[in-house]
Homo-oligomer: A and B are copies of this chain.
Amino acid sequence: MQISELGERELLKRLQQFGPPGIIGDDGAVLAVPPSQSLVVTTDTLVNGVHFSPQTTSAEDVGWRAVAANLSDLAAMGASPLGITVALALPPETELAWLDGLYQGIAACLNPFATPLVGGDLCRASEISLSITAFGCVTSGIYRRQARVGDAIVVSGVHGASRAGLELLLNDQQWHDLDPQIRENFISAHQRPRPRLDLLEPLQRLKIERIAGMDSSDGLGDAVIQLAHESGVKAKLWGDRLPSPPGLSAMVPPELAQDWVLWGGEDFELVLCLAPEDAQRLLEEVSGLSIIGEMVAGVGVELQLRDRIEILAIQSGFRHF
């Protein structure tokens, strides 16, 4: 069944079921912001054929990833989510099953964080595009420009897994002898990335005074370059400490593995800069974090390898225009 057969009124009713009762129906949604907290807002658009394709992404995964990208931006600001809005443009011949899948994926990613879908807009277009705006609240935020000389660079999780998952989805035949569990891990990292909102509670509990940071959605290398640049310091990374996922070194040669770890992107982990003693306290509190380098006086980013030093520069990466 195509959505044009269902009609607009039924369609809206169907989608409103994904929001909490009572909150949808007015011209806007009303939400409480806890006293003495600030509002944090972030927005992100996915376009069919640009950000996703039917080959590698189911409707559920599109919904999940759009939400994950926005919640990851909130986590990167140190903000707890309050809600999201979804603006959806799509062709009338879109299958209703696709739309249902999209909203199921959105709900699946929101649910663990008890974050409501509080409103949206639905309109006709010749291609599918999806804009999500997420808002959260924060007491003391995390900003890119707050890194200082002497800071430890801490990164959550592993990097390169999402890029490896994409490779497996695009060239399945080539990797038929890969361990099935590793294959599943990589594909899941690509299709169902987890925003690191779980880190906010320990960060708050430890009462760390100053944290610089951002997420690694555009790549770990990109995040470190941005943090150093915005803070006016130089980053030194230790090549042997970069957290690559189990199985990656068995899949591709070391140089390509390093490329995926640094520039693969879409891992949605956090990259944080904080005083070394605070970094130590954080690592004792939370497992799965790594110290990958330090901030020193200067400009740019150096990667210390066994036999040489590489200077990292923004990769051409994914450019829209």
A→B interface (CB under 8 Å): 3-4, 6-8, 11, 25-33, 35-45, 47, 49-51, 72-74, 76-77, 79, 82-83, 85-89, 92, 118-127, 129, 131, 133-136, 138, 141, 143-145, 214-215, 230, 319-321
Contacts and interface: CB of A to CB of B under 8 A. Distances in A.
Contacts of A77: 26-28, 30
B133 A85 contact: yes
Contacts of A319: 7-8
B135 A39 contact: yes
Contacts of A74: 27-28
Given A41-B28, A124-B47, A133-B133, A320 B8 contact: yes
Given A127-B127, A131-B121, A321 B43 contact: no
A41 B85 contact: yes
B320 A124 contact: yes
A321 B73 contact: no
A123 B50 contact: yes
B83 A27 contact: no
Contact of A87 (B29, B43, B50, B135): B43
8 contacts: A26-B144, A28-B134, A30-B77, A33-B37, A39-B135, A43-B120, A47-B124, A50-B123
Contacts of A121: 43-45, 131
A45 B144 contact: no
B127 A125 contact: yes
A181 to B, nearest CB: 32
Contacts of A38: 30-33
A174 B49 CA distance: 43
B8 A321 contact: yes
Contacts of A49: 126
Contacts of A8: 319-321
B27 A215 contact: yes
Contacts of A145: 25
Contacts of A125: 47, 50, 127, 129
A291 B6 CA distance: 38
Nearest to A42: B28
Contact of A35 (B27, B29, B36, B120): B36
A42 B25 contact: no
Contacts of A85: 41-43, 133
Q: Which residue, A4, A6, A33, A50, has most C-beta atoms of chain B within 10 A?
A: A33
Given A29-B41, A39-B39, A39-B82, 6 more contacts: A25-B230, A27-B76, A29-B42, A45-B123, A92-B321, A135-B135
